[in-house]
Chains A and B, each alone.
Chain A
Amino acid sequence: MELLAFGDTGWGDELFRATLMTIAVSITAMIIGFLFALIFTPLKLSKNKFLNFIANSYTTIIRGVPELLVIYLFFFGGTGAVMFVASIFGYNEYIEINAFITGAFAIGIISGAYSTEVFRGAIQSIDKGQFEAANVLGLNKFGKFFKIIFPQTLRLAIPNLSNVWQITLKDTSLISVTGLVEIMRQSYIAAGSTRDPLFFYSFAAVLYLLLTFVSMKLINRLEVKYSRGY
């Protein structure tokens, strides 16, 4: 237990901060994922073959390639890409991008591919009559989407989005390879310096379980809220 003490003698405060970091990265990645889904879901549903192709390539590639490989691409490639852009503007010094931003972006792109599929499925399973009814009511495009389609999409999407959240949360453990101090990285450091890997990795597992458990409870509440009337 003294291993977990707060302050200089234990790892309690470090692990607490690391847990907050995991939460922060997960939420940021989830939001980035939503932004990607916002772009790619309409492309997936579009009647244009070329736009379809782009969106399908995105979801297929990301869901068919290991997360770790994507993270390595961003970790090693991100700096290069930023420096290339900077060199166009005449800046030739070494630039190091923040591990948080690289990590959140890499996980966000992965999370976005899953979210896109979830939203596509949800929109497609909405009854055609709802679209027609919205037309009959004379709503414009925005009214139709935000007042009629989107609320129903949310109800259908929340259970699957909670899976995406779980995947995203667990994927953030992979960012530890880039050196961002989240739960996994902090446990690695603590395990190395105390030579007690069994304890610290098991504790990390408990922290992740706690995070998934609490977030599940919160999402269940949302689910209830959005399915009132059913």
Chain B
Amino acid sequence: MDLELMINSFPKLLNAAVITLKLLSVSLIIGLFIGLFFAILRLNKNIFINRFAYGYSYVFRGTPLLVQIFIIYFGLGQIEYLRSTVLWVILKEPYWCAIIAFALNTGAYTSEILRSAFQTIKPGIIEAGKSLGISSKVIFYKIQIPIAIRQSLPAYGNEIILMMKGTSLASTVTIMDLTGVAKYIISTTFKPIEVFIVAGGIYLFMTFIIHNVIKFLEKKYSFN
């Protein structure tokens, strides 16, 4: 066991963890909007809109995240037309490609979580709102969305942790996140166990924090 290496690599890995957290938070925020948007589409009665939203979540949940990143990072750059548009400013950066892939991926899972939360809301609650003369728009924003958010907190907490692990794939497109730096240190020192303990410890610590924040929110927003 090489303690010195562990102590020396700790600050480097901690710096890299900041990048992991940045990737995670930006893609979660974008993903939440995507998820909400597609969850609403799923509730639509129009079969085409419905199928479209289902297809989106099916494709992104049925393929590995790695494929999605590679299609966006390596694949889209191949389209000549895209290179001449403003989009290219974003798509030539591995950082943004990773975020787009993560956001689309987590958006797919989030849309499923929110959809099932919307569907488990008792119709009586909506009817109660209607009988009070509240417009259906207000019912949606003031009654359905808050309840759905509360319902989906436990599942969404799991999704955040899964996504945090997913951000490690950013290292495959040259981003030096926590896993990227860990791999670099491993491949230069050939001490995988020591680096794994430190990097894994940092990941576990982040998991622990996320887990407890979600637990706290669940308690805060519980019905009784």
Contact = CB atoms under 8 A, between A and B. Distances in A.
Contacts of B171: 68
B75 A77 contact: no
Interface of B is mostly: helix
Contact of A208 (B67, B78, B199): B67
A15 to B, nearest CB: 13
Interface in B150-206: 161, 164-169, 171-172, 179, 182-183, 186-187, 190, 192-193, 196, 199-200, 203-204
Q: Which of A72, A80, A166, A184 has the most CB of B within 10 A?
A: A72
Contacts of B168: 66-69
Interface in A54-68: 60-61, 63-68
Given A64-B161, A64-B204, A208 B196 contact: no
Given A69-B179, A76-B192, A198-B78, A61 B66 contact: no
B196 A73 contact: yes
A28 interface: no
A196 B190 CA distance: 35
A60 B204 contact: yes
Contacts of B76: 198
A171 B66 CA distance: 9
Nearest to A167: B162
Nearest to A184: B66
Interface in A180-199: 184, 187-188, 191, 195-198
Given A65-B165, A76-B186, A208 B63 contact: yes
Given A64-B161, A65-B165, A77-B196, A201 B64 contact: no
Q: Which of A171, A176, A195, A205 has the most CB of B within 10 A?
A: A205
Interface in B51-110: 58-59, 62-68, 70-71, 74-76, 78-79
Interface string A73-99: 100110010000000000000000000
A173 B71 CA distance: 14
A66 B192 contact: no
Contacts of B167: 66
A61 B67 contact: no
A77 to B, nearest CB: 4
B79 A198 contact: yes
Nearest to B211: A64
B207 interface: yes
A197 B204 contact: no
A204 interface: yes
Contacts of A65: 165, 200, 203-204
A199 B78 CA distance: 10
A205 B69 CA distance: 11
A202 interface: yes
B193 to A, nearest CB: 6
Contact of A202 (B58, B71, B203): B71
A209 interface: yes
B67 A201 contact: yes
A77 B197 CA distance: 12
A191 B78 CA distance: 11
B204 A176 contact: no
A204 B192 contact: no
A61 B207 CA distance: 10
Contact of A173 (B67, B164, B199): B67
Contact of B75 (A60, A72, A76, A198): A198
Contacts of B70: 184, 187-188, 197, 201, 204
A158 interface: no
A177 B59 CA distance: 23
A71 B64 CA distance: 16
Nearest to A204: B67
A171 B165 CA distance: 12
A64 B203 CA distance: 7
Q: Which 3 A-B pairs have the closest CB atoms?
A: A66-B168, A198-B75, A173-B64
Given A72-B183, A177-B172, A191-B74, 16 more contacts: A61-B204, A64-B161, A64-B207, A69-B203, A72-B179, A72-B186, A73-B192, A173-B67, A184-B67, A188-B70, A196-B78, A197-B78, A198-B71, A201-B74, A202-B75, A205-B59
